[in-house]
Structure 1
Amino acid sequence: MTLPKELLELYKETNGVYGMYGIAFIWAVEQMLKENVSIRLIYKDMDSLISLDDYLFFSDAGNGDLFCYSNVNDETIYVWNHEDQRCKGVASSLEEFLNGWITGVISI
C-alpha cells in the first residue's frame, strides 16, 4: 500500500504529530512501519472480518483501537476496533481527523 497523499505531505514536513507529554496524534514513520508489521503478524492466523492488508495504520486511540486509511478510499480516516475487528469512518480527511482528535470532537 502506498502512503495517501495527505499523509505523505505531512511526513515530508514532520516525523509525526505530538501533543503534550509526548502523546502521538500521528506516529513517527518508524513507529508506523513497526506497528503495521506487528498488527499483521498478530492477526495473520486469526479469522478476521477484514483483511488488515487493506489498511494503513498511522495512530492509536490509546485503548487498543487504531486509526487507519483504507486502500479503497485514499482520503477517509477509519478507526479499527481491536475487539470486534471492524472499521468505522471517523473523518473525511487527515486535517479533519487531527482537528477532531486533538479537540475531542472525535472520541472513541
Structure 2
Amino acid sequence: MWPELIATLPDAAPPASESALAACAAALGHPLPADLTGLLAAADGITGEYGTGLVWSAERIAAENLALRGGAGFAELYMPFDPLVFFGETGGGDLFALLARVDRPDVFVWDHETDSRTWVARSLADYLERSVSGALDL
C-alpha cells in the first residue's frame, strides 16, 4: 500500500533503515504504531507543498516527542503527551499524532494554543491523501 501512495506524494525521502526505526522506538520507550512503522520503512519523511513536515523522519519523530514529553514547561501548560506519537506538523505550530499504545489507526491534531486533541483522519493513509488533496479540514 505505501509504495503506491508515496508515488503520488510531492517529496518523499528514501526508506528508513531498520536500525533507525528501532532507535526511534527505543528512544520513545514503546513500539511505533504499525502504520507509522510501515510508512517510515517506505519513506523516512514526507515534505508537503510549503516545506511542512507531513511526516517527519524517524529521527525527528524521536527528537520532537522526547522534547515535548520531557519539557518541564510543557508539563505545566498541557495535558500529558505520553499517549501520543507526534509525526508531522501543520506549519502553524499544531502537530499531527497517532495514539502511542492503543491499536487504533486514527490521526489527531494537537492545537498548541488550546491543548485540544481533535480527530482529523481515519488512518495515516487517509491523512496523507487528504493532506495532499487539500481536503484535510483543520
1:63 counterpart = 2:92: yes
Q: How many residues align?
A: 106
Distance in 2, Cα, partners of 1:78 & 1:19: 18
Q: Which has the larger radius of gyration?
A: 2
Residue by residue over 1:38-77, the C-alpha shift from the partner in whole angstroms, topping out at 9 and shown as x without a partner, is 1123313x143x3211100000101110000123353000
Q: 1:1-108 alignment to 2 at 5 Å?
A: 1-20=30-49, 22-42=51-71, 43-44=74-75, 46-48=76-78, 50-70=79-99, 71-108=101-138
RMSD in angstroms over aligned alpha carbons? 1.7
Any gaps of 5 or more consecutive residues in structure 1? none
- Matches of 2:122 and 2:64 in 1, distance apart? 23
In the alignment, the residues of structure 2 paired with residue 20 and residue 104 of structure 1 have an alpha-carbon distance, to the nearest angstrom, of 10
Structure 2 stretches lacking a partner, 5+ long: 1-29
Q: 1:104 to 1:21 in 2, by over 3 A?
A: closer
Q: Which moved more, 1:22-31 or 1:52-61?
A: 22-31
Q: After the TM superposition, which segments of 4 or more aligned residues of structure 1 sit over 2 Å from their partners?
A: 18-24, 71-74
User: TM-score normalized by structure 2?
Assistant: 0.69
Q: Confirm or deny: 8 A CA contact 1:25 1:102 kept in the other structure.
A: no
Q: Are the counterparts in 1 of residues 69 and 80 from structure 2 also a CA contact under 8 Å?
A: no
TM-score (norm. length: structure 1): 0.87
Distance 2:130 2:109 in 1: 13
